[in-house]
Structure 1
Amino acid sequence: MAARGSGEAVVVSGGAGELVLMWAGFPLLGAGLGAALTAASGWVADLPWFPFQGWFALLHRWPAERSYPVGAGVLALAGLVLALLGTRERLTVTVGRASVRLHRDGHGRDVARAGVTGVFHDGKALVLLDADGGELAREPSDLSAERLRAAFTGQGWPWVEQDPYGTAYRRWVEGLPGLPPGADALLRARQRAIDAGRAGEAGELRDELARLGVVVRDERKRQYWRLVPGPPDRDGVRR
């Protein structure tokens, strides 16, 4: 996990070691697993509950000089795909005195220091709060909380050790009162997206809920919500 200075800014990222682990480790692990499954392909092909039985039956029929390179190669390729996805999902945080840049998958966003009243690490997410208690950013990552704390405090940002609104969250249960109009339907749609693994859609629905003054936190595919203390506008929507 790397943290380095860049002029006046401090960059926190997974570092080169994380890339080496993904691009070398994942394919090697996949190749080893593929070879082991190829060796056991006859046994695996007889397991009624195991997926891809036809594939393992085919590997079992092939001679070893053909089956082992193919079996190991397929899972090594799967390891490369995982490495690519992992690289795209890496978060890089560049903290300066006046703003922070959050960069992931070729896209970045800047958050001005003037609008931030609290920064903290919530589980595996970096969170930035605004003056009304809303979330300016919630970015999942595996970055070290200690390195993030050092980067933000070193640049004069208001780091807090825990969510100041942590006790305000309630678990979402469909139909329970307390939510603004439209929020229950959005949470229902978001729960479907979470269950289906559609992270992009879940993120878009989080943004829609934020416009209604609802902050959402996820724990093991369960949604927890709280209302933003700041007042909404005349239409009941936070701008």
Structure 2
Amino acid sequence: MTDRDGDRDSAITVRQKTSDRVLVAAGFPLLGAVVGLLLKLLAEWAASWPWLPWEGPVELVADAPEPTATVVSLVLGTLAGVVLVLMAEHGYVTVTIKDERVTTARGDATRSVPRIAVSGVFADKKRLVVLGTRGEELIAECKNEGADLPSVARLALAKLGVVVHDTDDRQWWRATARFQPSESPE
């Protein structure tokens, strides 16, 4: 990045690829519209069955006048897709590396650590990890909060010198090189 004077800006920002974000932003509403239309068609088909659960709502959708029913199903499906896009945008992680700090941002939450304390930033399957100089996880951004151990607990363990790693069906842990204070003279 350069500013107007041509001096190099020392900040590096890494975020989700623009093409991926555009695909999500266009694809989810389109998919939602298709699902909305399919649900309307399914309701029309299901209304012909001799017995079905939720008979009232299904018949309400099936008996709705056209083209209103089609337009409403398309709009509701599209809105559901837009909600998913907003949730995805809120969940993306952005990493900014400056001369003095490394910062991660997701939604409304921001975490920052001094750059001198960072030895690496990498992706570990579904997690973005900022690793400290002693091997500890300074920041771990999890994409899957439904894991057995939430990210808050992971960070608390990391402060104690224990790093937890997920594989497909197991969790592994390792101890990091912990800070040992120098002995004080007696």
Paired residue total: 173
1:4-48 deviation line (CA, Å, top 9, x unaligned): 6771112112254444333333212211221122123233565x9
CA distance in 2, matches of 1:217, 1:138: 11
Whether the aligned pair in 2 keeps the contact of 1:216 and 1:223 (CA below 8 Å) is: no
Q: For 1:162-173, what aligned pairs fall within 5 Å after superposition?
A: none
| Deviation sequence 1:40-81 (CA, Å, 0-9, x none) | 3233565x99x9775433211222322212222222111111
Query: Within 2, Cα distance between the matches of 1:217 and 1:59?
Result: 48
2:34 alignment partner, SS class: helix
Q: Which amino acid aligns with 1:38?
A: K
For the aligned residue pairs, the C-alpha RMSD in angstroms reads: 3.3
For the pair shown, which has the larger CA radius of gyration, 1 or 2? 2
Matched with 1:71 is 73
The reply on whether 1:122 has 2:124 as its aligned counterpart is yes
Match of 2:184 in 1: none
TM-score (norm 2): 0.74
Provide structure 2 residue ranges, at least 5 long, that are not aligned to the other structure: 4-8, 182-186
Residue 93 of structure 1 is aligned with which of 88, 95, 100? 95
Other structure's SS at 1:117 match = strand
Bigger fraction of residues in helix: 1
Output the CA distance in 2 between the equivalents of 1:77 and 1:42: 22
CA contact (8 A) 2:139 2:155 kept: no
Identity over aligned pairs, percent: 34
* Aligned counterpart in structure 2 of residue 203 of structure 1, from 144, 148, 151: 151
1:229 aligns with 2:148: no
Report the residue type matching 2:36 in the other structure. Answer: G
Structure 1: segments with no counterpart, 5+ residues? 142-189, 196-200, 235-239
Shift of 1:137: 1.5
Q: Which amino acid aligns with 1:75?
A: G
Per-residue deviation at 1:140?
4.1
Residue identity matched to 1:227: R
Letter in 1 for 2:42: A
2:137 is the counterpart of 1:135: yes
Letter in 2 for 1:134: E
The one of 99, 110, 113 equivalent to 2:112 is 110
- Would you say the 8 A contact 2:91–2:107 is kept in 1? yes
Alignment partner of 1:215 is 2:170: no
**What amino acid sits opposite 2:156 in the alignment?**
E
